[in-house]
Amino acid sequence: MPHLLDPTRNDLETWLAERGEKSFRARQVRQWILHRRAASFEQMTDLPKTLREALEKDFTLWTTQIARHSQSEDGTEKLLLQLADGGRIECVLLRDGTRRTICISSQVGCAMGCVFCASGLDGVDRNLTAGEIVEQMLRLQQLVEPDLRLSHIVVMGMGEPLANLDRLLPALEVASSEAGLGISPRRITISTVGLPPAIRRLTERGVHYNLAVSLHAPNDELRNRLVPVNKNIGLAAILEEADHYFEASGRRLTFEYVLLAGINDQQEHARQLVNLLGSRLALLNVIPYNPVAGLPYATPSNNASRRFREILEQGGINVQFRERKGDKINAACGQLRRSTPPVVTIAAK
C-alpha cells in the first residue's frame, strides 16, 4: 500500500476529488503527518470519519521502524530504519552550532560500486519512494528539540540520488515548501557521482538545490578504479553538465573528495585537482576516509592531509577539510546496516 506522502499534493487533491472531498483537505491531511506527528489516521480528528476510513484503506501512514538509534559524543545521531519490505536504510542528524543538518538516503543499497563504500557492497535493491524519503526527514526531525527545526538537508546517504530523481524531487518539494518543512532550497544539497543526463534534467527543471559532485580522483584512470561507473561516463562529461547547472542555477558547485591513504592522497593528485578545478568558482570538500570493516582502505596521516591541503590552497582552490563526525557510531554510510541484525516483528494473534 502506498505511503501517504507518496502522492504529490496535486495527486492527493485528485484522490480527494474522486471521493467528493474538497481540495483543502489535502493540506489538512499533510499537516497531520508533517507537523502534528499523527501516529494513526484515527488521530486526524478534524477530518470526517468516512475520509479517515478511506485514507486508511488506500494509504499507510508510517512505513519504517527504527531498527537502531545510535548517538555519538559530538551530538551526531544515526538511525537505521527498516522499511515495510524488510529493506534497511540509514539517515543521520548532525549538530554543528546552530545547524541541524540531516543526511538522508535515496535508495536501498547502491549500484555505483565505489570501492571504499559500505553502501554499495551488495549492489542496489530498489529506489525509495517519495514517502520513504520524506519519512527519514520526519524521523530525524523528531530527534530535535520540539521548538527547533531542521536547517539543512544533504542527500548523501545510501544510494545515488540522481538515479532516483523521479521520487527525490517530489520529496524535496515537500522539504522546501512553506507548507512542508520550510527548508530553503539553498540549504538542500544533492550529492552525485555524476550522471550527466540526470544533471541535465535538474538544470532543465530549474530547481535551485546545491549540487555536490563526488570526484574522489583527479583523473579518469584512477576514478575508473575507485568509482567504476565512471568508465562509461568520464570526468569531462560530468564537469561539462555540472558547469551548465552552475550557469543556469547560480548555485556554486561543490566537489567532494574522500581522501584514501596511499591511493588518491599523493601530491601529484593534489596538483592534478588544481588543474582540473582551478578555473571554477567551486568549493572542494575533502573528507578523510572513515574506515569500513572488511575494506582495505585507511585514513591518511595528518602529514599527508596537510601536504595535500597546502598544494590545493597554493593552487587557489577554495578547499575545506571536513571533520569526520560520528566515528564511534559507524557514521560512514552503509556501515550500521551491515553491523545490525534485522528487526523481527512478531504479529499479534
**Residues taking part in catalysis:** 90, 333
Instruction: Determine which residue in the list 94, 333, 335, 336 makes contact with ligand SF4, applying CB under 6 A.
Output: 333
Tell me how far, at minimum, the Cβ of 296 lies from ligand SF4, in Å: 16
Q: Which residue has the cell 551548465?
A: 244
Distances in whole angstroms, Cα of residue 242 to Cα of each of 5, 114, 133, 200, 237: 30, 20, 24, 8, 9
The residue type found at 157 is G
**Cα–Cα nearest to 156, from 199, 107, 196:** 107
Tell me how far, at minimum, the Cβ of 158 lies from ligand SF4, in Å: 5
Show contacts with ligand SF4 in window 150-179 (CB under 6 A): 158-160
Q: Which is nearer to ligand SF4, 55 or 329 (CB)?
A: 329
Tell me how far, at minimum, the Cβ of 292 lies from ligand SF4, in Å: 10
- Number of chain residues interacting with ligand SF4 (CB under 6 A): 12
Q: b or e along 124-135 (b: 16 or more beta carbons within 10 Å of the residue's beta carbon)? A: bbebbbbbbbbb
DSSP 262: T
Tell me how far, at minimum, the Cβ of 161 lies from ligand SF4, in Å: 9
Q: Which is nearer to ligand SF4, 138 or 154 (CB)?
A: 154
Show contacts with ligand SF4 in window 180-199 (CB under 6 A): 193
**Cα–Cα nearest to 1, from 66, 63, 44:** 63
Tell whether residue 256 is a contact of ligand SF4 (CB under 6 A): no
Tell me how far, at minimum, the Cβ of 120 lies from ligand SF4, in Å: 3
Alpha helices per DSSP H over the chain: 9-17, 24-34, 49-58, 130-141, 165-176, 196-205, 220-226, 235-249, 267-277, 302-314, 335-339
Show contacts with ligand SF4 in window 112-151 (CB under 6 A): 112-114, 117, 119-120
Q: Which is nearer to ligand SF4, 114 or 165 (CB)?
A: 114
The helix (H) or strand (E) run that includes residue 96 is strand 88-96
Distances in whole angstroms, Cα of residue 140 to Cα of each of 85, 219, 243: 21, 37, 33
The span from the first CA to the last CA of the chain, in angstroms, equals 22
Beta bridge partners of 333: none
Interface mask (CB under 6 A) for ligand SF4, residues 78-117, using x and -?
A: --------------------------------x-xxx--x
Q: Which residues, 6+ apart, have CB-to-CB distance to 69 below 8 Å?
A: 77, 78, 79, 80
Q: Which is nearer to ligand SF4, 117 or 329 (CB)?
A: 117
Q: Which is nearer to ligand SF4, 175 or 193 (CB)?
A: 193
Tell me how far, at minimum, the Cβ of 156 lies from ligand SF4, in Å: 7
Please say whether the beta carbons of 194 and 236 come within 8 A: no
Q: Which is nearer to ligand SF4, 34 or 226 (CB)?
A: 226
Instruction: Name the site residues for ligand SF4 (rule: CB under 6 A).
Output: 110, 112-114, 117, 119-120, 158-160, 193, 333
